[in-house]
Structure 1
Amino acid sequence: MDGHTLAGEPVTEETLLAGGYRKYHGEAIDVYYNKEICIHSGNCVRGNSAVFEVGRRPWIMPDNGEAPQVAQVIHTCPSGALKFITKEQS
C-alpha cells in the first residue's frame, strides 16, 4: 500500500478525516490511522515499536522516530489503515 495516497490520489487531511482516519500529530510527520480497515498484520509494531505500540495511549507517537523511517514503516501496511502527511506535503 502507499502511505501517502488514497484511491491513487495524494492524501489530504480533510479526505483522511472524512474517511474515518484519526490523526496523530508529529513535528515532521502526521500519521493517520483507520481502525475500521486495519487487519492487524503487525507490520507497524514490528517496523518501529517506539512509534507504534499497541499497549500505550496514544499508541502512535510520530515524534519517536525519524519521519522518513516512519513513512517507510507505513508503506508496509497491507490494508491501508495507516497513512501519513509530511510537513513538506502540507
Structure 2
Amino acid sequence: MEKEIVKEYSNGELTVVWKPQKCIHAGECVKALPEVYNPKEKPWIKAENASTQALKDQIAKCPSGALSYRM
C-alpha cells in the first residue's frame, strides 16, 4: 500500500494540512487566497500570509477535502 503524502504549512497558530492525492485542482484555494496559495512557488502554501480565520473559512470550502487544518 502506498503511503499517503501529507504536507503541512503553519502560520504559528494554525497548521494547514494538504493531502496532494486528494486534490482535484479545483483552484478554490487560489481564487480565495492568492496571497497564500501559489502553485508556481515553493512552498506553494504560505499560511503566514493570511489570518487564521481567513484560512479556516477558505479550507472549509475545499471541494475535495485535500485541505484541512489543526490548531
- Give the structure-1-normalised TM-score: 0.71
Residue 73 (structure 1) aligned with residue 67 (structure 2)? no
The CA deviation at 1:46 is 0.3
Identical pairs, percent = 29
- How far, CA to CA, are the matches of 1:83 and 1:44 in structure 2? 12
Contact 1:28 1:63 survives alignment (8 Å): no
Runs of 4+ off more than 3 Å: none
Following superposition of structure 1 onto structure 2, how do residues 1-90 of structure 1 map, counting pairs within 5 Å? 19-86=4-71
Note the residue ranges of structure 1 that are not aligned, 5 or more in a row. Answer: 1-17
Deviations 1:55-83 (A, max 9, x none): 11100011100000011001110100000
Number of matched pairs:
69
The CA deviation at 1:19 is 5.0
SS of the residue 1:44 aligns to: helix
Note the residue ranges of structure 2 that are not aligned, 5 or more in a row. Answer: none
Alpha-carbon RMSD: 1.3
Deviations 1:4-42 (A, max 9, x none): xxxxxxxxxxxxxx8532111221210010110100000
